[in-house]
Amino acid sequence: MRLVLVGPPGAGKGTQAQFIASHFAVPKISTGDIFRSNVSDGTDLGLEARKYMDAGDLVPDEVTIGMVKDRLSHDDTSEGFLLDGFPRTVQQAVVLDDMLAAHDVGLDVVLELVVDDEEVVRRLSGRRTCRRCGHVWHLDFDPPATEGVCDRCGGELFQRDDDSELTIRHRLEVYADQTSPLIGYYGDRGLLSGVDATGPVEDVTERAINALRRFGD
């Protein structure tokens, strides 16, 4: 299966990508994971990407496309893959089509995780990160026993800049402006399948896998 996962920030793409890729035994290719690794390592790519990520903007196409093209050339993608975080624009989707066409293959399905803006703000703005161990808590879903203190190591909890409500709403505006047109692009080609991404993680996973099975049939 060659699958693209789309949806707004906070829709749970990273979590669902892991479960879905494991279920269908294909590699999960996440641009977010690659960006964060480069940021952590302080590479040139990481320094460039961080400027955009911290502001809630998209990393420029030339950086993202080169990275994805290299990853798709690896042998483990020959029988399928799950792309999380790419494409994010119609222009990137066209480039991906060309990449796959060069190997005489194409996408099987694009799965959209559907969630409204206010739920996204609630999910992301409630996150608190430990300065010492990096564990992420949530004020509503997984609160620490003592406000502002990590249960695991006693470290101070803080809200990352990209988890502030202002940045989240900006990210949603960016998504609506640049990424939402993908829905129409893939819908017009008959490749789109949407699932409700609210509720327990396990329920969303079940809906997603069932939708993919039905789409495959």
Give the active site residues: 13, 88, 127, 160, 171
Total structural domains within the chain: 1
- Distances in Å between the Cα of 92 and the Cα atoms of 11, 51, 152, 200 are 21, 20, 41, 31
63 pLDDT higher than 80: no
Contact 186, 28 (CB under 8 A): no
Q: What is the pLDDT of residues 75-122, one digit of tens each?
A: 999 999 999 989 988 999 999 999 999 989 999 999 999 999 999 999
Per-residue pLDDT, 123: 94
- Asked whether the predicted pLDDT for residue 199 surpasses 80, the reply is yes
State which residues form the domain around 189.
2-216
Total-model pTM:
0.83
Kindly report the number of other CB atoms within 10 A of residue 181's CB atom. 14
CATH number at residue 184: 3.40.50.300
